[in-house]
Structure 1
Amino acid sequence: MRVLVVGGGGREHALVEAIARSPLEPEIFAAPGNPGIARLARNVDIPADDIPELRDFAKENGIDLTVVGPEVPLIGGIADAFYEAGLKLFGPSRAAARIEGSKAFAKEVMNRAGVPTADYRIFEDERAALEFLRAHREYPVVVKADGVAAGKGVTVAASEEEAEAAVRAAFGGRFGAAGRRVIVEECLAGREASVFALSDGENILPFLPARDYKRIYDNDEGPNTGGMGAYCPLLWMDPDTYKRILEEIIHPTVRQLSLMGSSYTGLLYAGVMVTAEGPKVLEFNCRFGDPETQVLLPRLGSDLLELMIACCEDDLAGREVAWSAEKAVCVVLASEGYPESSSSGDLISGLDDLPCEVNIYHAGTAERDGKLYTAGGRVLNVVGLGGSLMEARARAYAAVESIDFTGMQYRTDIALEALEMEEF
């Protein structure tokens, strides 16, 4: 069996690793891939957003299943292009991927389905948004660019001044077309979770929830990023709360998309805040999370490739997912200047002889003459595994201490709050 994985970051590295474990023994290609992925798959020099080239490659090389990691090609309609060419692809159609591609569309889906979310207003005019903020009396508020902005289009504004600056930045072109429409919504308080479920359009198969860290600095300070770390499992997430999330959020959303003619096939990701009133949606994504995938898939005991095929063949009903008892903690190593900019070409050292309980996923690296260099904002994902979160965290940070490149930055508080809940 031949599998093509689209993308070249840490998430895709984790996907390739999990697919490679399949008893189906797939031959794996990755476009464009990265040096870490190259140890498990054959890299193909095609950008992740070049849909015609990806389609032609899949057709010419007899690809049996294409798995899409990043959101941009999904929102751009890669699933539709592949289906029209008679090719099998894991991921939602362009219409269904709007659940991430437009926050306004996601709110419409939630409203129709009765899914709990934050109160909000949508603005297509900068002046109207600013007038609303000046009349608003309760801060903080959340300002979001409507479209996709690589995880950086959300501002939690503590004051009117901050909120106005975020609105001006969005309408001023900071996020391109993604900022032509802006959502201002209430700031929810509670515990945050990333919730994942496979869907074949009718049935869902939930994965374990995880927790990620969006801000660049410790204590959730500084600007938003694509993600600076994650851990799994969530010790505070009790079965009743998780059941409510599935029954009040995931199931109704999948049903509503189907009713709207946008049947959802693939992986649905809900960012959820568990508030005093119950779980509410922060956002939806149309693909695996990054870096949450890096702490989920090492613990997956089931055959991921088989489950993905089942999604594509409307065959999820009655299936279950097995998980290992291990805990996982991921620490993201970022380059100097990230998230506003990123340094490239810095030599990376310290990756040799790391313990087997540590997984290294390449996110932004390049290889020249047998040496590894930085090539992006988020460079490496260091994942520690252990019988407890404390052990997994200790292994991750011990590995981090052995790795070095100029300007390397990372958070030191990943999973720290979870240790207080762990029983020994």
Structure 2
Amino acid sequence: MGVQESYPIDVEAIRADFPILDRKVGGDVERPGEGPGDDTPLYYLDNAATSHTPDQVVDTISEYYRGYNANVHRGIHQLSQEASVAYENAHDTVADFIGASGREEVVFTKNTTESENLVAYAWGLNELGPGDNVVMTEMEHHASLVTWQQIAKKTGAEVRYIRVDDDGYLDRDHAADLIDDSTQMVSVVHVSNTLGTVNPVADLADLAHDHGAYIFVDGAQSAPTQPVDVTAIDADFFAFSGHKMCGPTGIGALYGKEHVLEEMEPYLYGGDMIRRVTYEDSTWEDLPWKFEAGTPSIAQGIAFAAAVDYLEDIGMANVQAHEELLAEYAYDQLSAFDDVTIYGPPGDDRGGLVAFNVEGVHAHDLSSIVNDHGVAIRAGDHCTQPLHDKLGVAASARASFYIYNTRDEIDALIEAVDDARELFA
């Protein structure tokens, strides 16, 4: 596993919290009906899609179901009270994690995609109209791009895209040209899930606010991997997902400035989000419950907070340092191949992922071959089809790293890529 002192975190101790990393997977001789069983170590390098979940978080889910499983905000009995307190405290934990002022500014959603849709429908449908524009970037995830694109179609607003230059950075002069007094929303990804670009969201927030616009920051790739302070970057909205940061699936968070959320109408209606209901009208509960209709993902929300606690015990600055170390190492190793194209900024100026292609090898074939070596990577357009069109490729392979990954696992990837090169030579 390499020399422990060479990592900014105790990777060996962290790996012990993730039993799935010890499992074996099918190797290159393990085809259905052909091999005696799985015998290849797992090298999991698909963390930008979903990270794994440590025992501490799994135990939290189990403790809820075994000890105090009940609906929240619905009962006077002890179990409901215990569940309600834990669920509400989870909002406090997540709020502290991103520098929000309190639980009023943190709405639990299913994921980043639902958070985007919540703002687009609850705010966008009411506020956008002909003559208005929404500004995004050419590197947006479909969760942002498709959502605002479709809301613009419904409202008659215009959609504009900030150019990405040949090195994978935003053209900031172009951003200044596009964002004007008719701009109502700037929606920008914090860290590109394809290019690894870390965007200057605080500067874009200043630019948006100078023109009276709001800014929505897609933090799906940043919140799990680096310190985030929504107050410092002055985001009006910030969204992220639990399953990318050691948490369970089906839970995420939308941060919104309190005064903005107060002005917005609910996105979903039903139980728990209401204060008073008559046959003629209804009034809404206080924030954040106004936006959490029905029975929420209680166990997932409580476990989301446990994942945050787990990461904070490691230290988000340490998480970021480890990711950057691995990304630079992978970038350098892949750059040694003259037939490999890497997309995005240099290795020392990117988030913890590397998207690339091998000349003459389709990304799906490459992913299949490296899978034979036990290496799990992503292949496809990574929910950024327009960006891939701009890059002139149908798909790319993507290796993405997290707190439990090592240089040795990247070496396994490089060996597998080399085999693919030889196979298709």
- TM-score under structure 1 length normalisation: 0.28
More strand by proportion, 1 or 2? Answer: 1
Highest relative contact order (Cα 8 Å, sep 6+), 1 or 2? Answer: 2
